[in-house]
Amino acid sequence: MFEALKPQPADKILSLMEAYRADPRDGKIDLGVGVYKNPQGVTPIMRAVKAAEQRIWEQQETKAYTGLAGDPAYGDAMIALVLADAVPRDQVAAVATPGGTGAVRQAFEMIQRANPQARIFVSDPTWPNHLSILKYLKIETVPYRYFDAETGGVDFNGMMADLDGLRAGDVVLLHGCCHNPTGANLTMPEWQAVVEKLNAVGATPMIDIAYQGFGDGLDADAAATRMVAASVPECLIAASCSKNFGIYRERTGLLMAVGQDRSRHGVTQGMLAFLNRQNFSFPPDHGARVVATILGDEALRADWAAELEEMRLNMLRLREQLAGELRTLSGSDRFGFLAQHRGMFSRLGTTPEKVEALRRDHGVYMVGDSRMNIAGLNADSVPILARAIIDAGV
């Protein structure tokens, strides 16, 4: 049987990580892998996470399964964090998932079961795993223009023109904040225009929100998601705790299905639980219990929010420093968009050949489409990167 298996293409980011580790040069810079790093180059365990884990260790008395939807306290806490009071709680069905990726996968499967003819409109570019999972599930995808390489911002006119191709029953995948891989985000008026178009056509939004708290703050980063949830008949929201709680390896996510028709809530909740059962049965609990413990305790939540804000401000300082260094070296403000982007990532908008030159000649590792992880920098490496960008003719 195994002889019939075919080699699968290597993951570009994992391959980049391997190449970085094999590079013997001092001063090399890793801007590939999407994890937050502090100025010392470490992905830290947050203070509140350690305190919550200590509390769980002392108090937890069983490792028996949770329910198919996961710990209800976790679901309630995450729904409140993401949606606040935008919609009533009884309009939200939710299940815990193995990370944000698990939530995305379950959402795609739910769409497929609800409407096998649905097409999913996806930003160009988007997180590569979106496209990989959609291809694996054989769901038709339609790209819509998003990033303007000339300005480093959103090509909103192109996006709206492409969304003119929507049909009733289609789904539009949107990034709630801190767009991956570009760092360029819609303004609130642009979000509202998208919602109006979806409602006019009868299309459904799906929001992937993986970086809440990394852009402009916890509430500001969720503002668009809350507005969408309150303004459409139905939407799907895939949330991740990997970044804002720093619990990457605990695989902690949540899928929410928001519907104004309360009579469908029970069926929707049952379908989400069914999909969990078919894919992995009971979701992992440790990370979810950590999150629920933090969000349910006033002191832990305050400490977590303070440390998250430190991380956010660190990335903003790095963005501003990099834009300033490039302004000095280039004599222009053509890289000013880097300071306007939000989240961990920015896309330079250059060619794969120049990205390769950055790696070959300067030891700077970023994804071939010129996505770079701002959190991989520190105050000392920013000037080195800026000089490399200029010398490579980006």
**Catalytic sites, residue numbers:** 127, 208, 210, 243
Q: How many residues does the chain have?
A: 394
The helix or strand, by DSSP H or E, that contains position 254, with its residue range, turns out to be strand 252-259
Please give the Cα distance from 232 to 30 (Å, whole number): 41
Going by the DSSP 8-state scheme, the letter that residue 114 receives in this structure is H
Cα 142 to chain centroid distance, Å, stands at 20
* Angle of CA points 90, 96, 100, to nearest 5°: 115
Cα 263 to chain centroid distance, Å, stands at 31
Of 69, 114, 81, 87, residue with least CA distance to 261? 87
Q: Is 54 exposed, middle or buried (0-12, 13-18, 19+ CB in 10 A)?
A: exposed
C-beta separation of 272 from 110 below 8 A: yes
As a 3-state breakdown, the chain gives helix, strand, coil percent values, each rounded to 5, of: 50, 15, 35
Please give the Cα distance from 74 to 245 (Å, whole number): 13
Preceding omega of 125 cis (within 30 degrees of 0): yes
Please give the Cα distance from 310 to 288 (Å, whole number): 23
> CB 271: neighbour CB atoms within 10 A?
19
- Residue whose pair of structure tokens reads 């642009």 in the numeric block: 190
Please give the Cα distance from 111 to 113 (Å, whole number): 5
Please give the Cα distance from 259 to 94 (Å, whole number): 11
Cα 203 to chain centroid distance, Å, stands at 22
